[in-house]
Amino acid sequence: MATNPSWVLKSYPSAMPTVENWTLEDRMVPQANDGELLVKTLWLSVDPYMRGRISPAKNYATGFKLGDLMRGGGIGEVVASESSEFRPGDIVTSDYFGWQPFSVIRAATAKTVATGEAPIQAALSYLGMPGLTAYFALLRTGRPKAGETVLISAASGAVGQIAGQVARIKGFDPVAIAGSDAKLEWCKELGYRTGINHRTSADLIADVAAACPKGVDVFIDNTAGPIHDAAMSNLNTFGRVVVVGTIALADRFDQPDIGLRHLRRTLITRARIEGFLLDDHEAEYQTAIADLLLWHRQGLLQTREDVAEGIETVPHALVRMLKGENFGKQLVKL
Amino acid sequence: MATNPSWVLKSYPSAMPTVENWTLEDRMVPQANDGELLVKTLWLSVDPYMRGRISPAKNYATGFKLGDLMRGGGIGEVVASESSEFRPGDIVTSDYFGWQPFSVIRAATAKTVATGEAPIQAALSYLGMPGLTAYFALLRTGRPKAGETVLISAASGAVGQIAGQVARIKGFDPVAIAGSDAKLEWCKELGYRTGINHRTSADLIADVAAACPKGVDVFIDNTAGPIHDAAMSNLNTFGRVVVVGTIALADRFDQPDIGLRHLRRTLITRARIEGFLLDDHEAEYQTAIADLLLWHRQGLLQTREDVAEGIETVPHALVRMLKGENFGKQLVKL
């Protein structure tokens, strides 16, 4: 029987994770029991939320314990099915793929990936969690009005790239914050009106003010940290802040986040600051996917992937994404 | 002509205001011009928002400049009217009474005070700005559901005392945070289920957890500061935080507010944190006043005033309210 090199969590990172926090164990290919599927992994997704799952702190998702097999979003081909819903050869996606070439997943977590219309890995990108997050965070929680300024952090990332383009398609005024000039250049190709490089900015508050001369109406916050402060300092009356991610805290996840508090500003602007979790919008997924597919088909939606190859690269891909070294949606191809 | 001792702002406080920040000037009784009323002041209101108006920082209301006559909520009798809307003898309220025995106000800012149903000073308390703030902050912005736990800071204050009772009347589960055991005792008489003395608590987070065993669903935040942190740490999924006031910052108003940031918690709980300004609810004032009057008439709504007497006491009354030394709605009777 083939061996199945599998990534398990070895230690909790106290700061920014390193590849040494995981170890590659040589496991056996597992067997599917009743209600399960054995899948051959084709793609794995690494996403910012995983930082929270390798922390002993309490989060919405139960975290990994030391010694646990790492799991996350993936796409694979069904090899053996103990479910009447799927058969061998089906291409499926699930949020619970192991970081391993062969994985057993519960059939209840799996969905068939439509083939033909888009490359299958789109199910991990603009037709999956990041694209849906961008769609609902912007349109349902942020709720911009026509012409309003929408500031988006991590603007070229998996969520940001879609949020910026949906904002442009819907007639809002998207402004990017990203970590390199190359990313900003691409953001402008996507339709962001302008952008700010937060790594080279000497005064982020002033630079956001200059980029958003009418102030910030909606802020899609993928980062927290100083970028959050710059947005809050430029927030308009009745501004909306959608807290989608906190990747700027990836290096100090289990420490108290001490910094500027914005309660005076919240009071004076009557801002609405709201945390976002995609699961809350499940009833509308099909509407969103139909919109995103249509826009893609019409050439209105570009996407960019950053692809690592081989099972041995998964922790490295996660770490570089947490550091912002990726350019586009970070994936691993097996 | 009678003299008219008037309080003017002498200096901006850098920390907690002191009575030395104002000076009592002997002015002449002013004259009403077209569209104005000369009123004899009967009651003045001191309110937490005034701390923001004696700061050089930018706020929603334009602040006072050094040398400006202080103005705020008041009730008075019209002495001379240059408006067809009012006549001498009318009892009126306005947010722009000078801190002086005789004041000229614009008729457009004045409203007639209904006499008979309630003592006239109720227009500065439960039938005025604080009562309406409590009503709308709780019911329109907080939007609790039946049985939900509503945590209220400054719970016996002008806003808190009404918010707690409306919460009880509407079938929510109100919990008080206040600054003395006497205040908490009275909060329980009002119908708060239980309460926490934040001045004697050794562990505010744990004490809020003990007082709110099902967690905090809605937090009416009249204070900011460490009380805010204790509430956030106990906030339930889909919790709502209404930022009504920031009186805990009164002693450090022009300095950056550095402290715990709650973006991870906001994300994980999908909390909604929203700034509140009463003006946004003007279209519904009459509905709210009718409800508050009815509840008062039915004996469901108690109120408590803390009354200073004489024009010379106004700054002192403001400072003691900012320090939390008042017990109930702080007023000055002339």
3-state SS, B104-157, equals EEEHHHCEECCCCCCCHHHHHCCCCHHHHHHHHHHHHHHCCCCCCEEEEECCCC
Top pLDDT among A255 and A54 is at A54
pLDDT of residue A174: 98
Measure CA A313 to chain center.
18
A159 touches B: beta carbon within 8 Å: no
Kindly state the average pLDDT of the residues A303-312.
Answer: 97
User: How do residues A268-296 score in pLDDT, each as one tens digit?
Assistant: 999 999 999 999 999 999 999 999 999 99
Class of domain A3-124+304-333: alpha beta
pLDDT of residue B163: 98
B261 touches A: beta carbon within 8 Å: yes
Mutation target among A153, A273, A277, A282 for the B interface, most CBs of B within 10 A: A273
Distance from CA of B280 to the nearest CA of A (A): 9
- The answer to whether domain A129-279 has CATH 3.40.50.2000 is no
CA separation for the pair A150, A119 (Å, rounded)? 29
CA separation for the pair A190, B156 (Å, rounded)? 54
Residue B56 structure tokens = 């050089």
SS3 A141: helix
Which of B259, B268, B277 lies closest to A59 in CB terms?
A: B268
Cβ within 8 Å, pair B245-A228: no
Residue B91 structure tokens = 């009892």
Burial B28-40 (b: 16+ CB within 10 A, else e): ebbebeeebbbbe
Mutation target among A133, A238, A263, A274 for the B interface, most CBs of B within 10 A: A263
pLDDT of residue B2: 64
Q: What are phi and psi of A294, to 5 degrees?
A: -60, -50
Which of A228, A257, A276 lies closest to B260 in CB terms?
A: A257
CA separation for the pair B25, B232 (Å, rounded)? 45
Mutation target among B254, B264, B276, B282 for the A interface, most CBs of A within 10 A: B264
Domains of chain B, residue spans: 3-121+305-333, 129-279
pLDDT of residue A115: 82
B249 touches A: beta carbon within 8 Å: yes
User: How do residues A115-172 score in pLDDT, each as one tens digit?
Assistant: 888 899 999 999 999 999 999 999 999 999 999 999 999 999 999 999 999 999 999 9
Measure CA B145 to chain center.
25
Q: Helix A129-136 vs helix A285-297: angle between axes, to the nearest 10 degrees?
A: 100
CA separation for the pair A75, A305 (Å, rounded)? 15
**% of chain B residues with pLDDT over 90:** 92
A269 touches B: beta carbon within 8 Å: yes
Q: Give ipTM to 2 decimals.
A: 0.93
CA separation for the pair B287, A11 (Å, rounded)? 59
Distance from CA of B242 to the nearest CA of A (A): 9
Q: Residue B78 has what DSSP assignment? A: E
A210 CB-near residues (< 8 Å, 6+ apart): none
Query: Would you say residue B290 has pLDDT above 60?
Result: yes
Which of B262, B264, B275 lies closest to A271 in CB terms?
A: B275
Query: For B252, which residue in chain A has the nearest alpha carbon?
Result: A264
User: How do residues A70-118 score in pLDDT, each as one tens digit?
Assistant: 999 999 999 999 999 999 999 999 999 999 999 999 999 999 998 888 8
**% of chain A residues with pLDDT over 70:** 98
Cβ within 8 Å, pair B259-A264: no
User: How do residues B51-95 score in pLDDT, each as one tens digit?
Assistant: 999 988 765 557 899 999 999 999 999 999 999 999 999 999 999
Q: Which chain B residues contact residue A236 at CB under 8 A?
A: none
Integer-rounded Cα Rg, in Å, for chain A is 20
Query: Would you say residue A1 has pLDDT above 60?
Result: no
Sign of CA dihedral A141, A49, B266, A15: negative
Residue A254 structure tokens = 């289990």
pLDDT of residue B254: 79
Q: Residue B158 has what DSSP assignment? A: T
Fold type of domain B3-121+305-333? Quinone Oxidoreductase; Chain A, domain 1 (3.90.180)
Query: Would you say residue B165 has pLDDT above 90?
Result: yes
Distance from CA of A103 to the nearest CA of B (A): 28
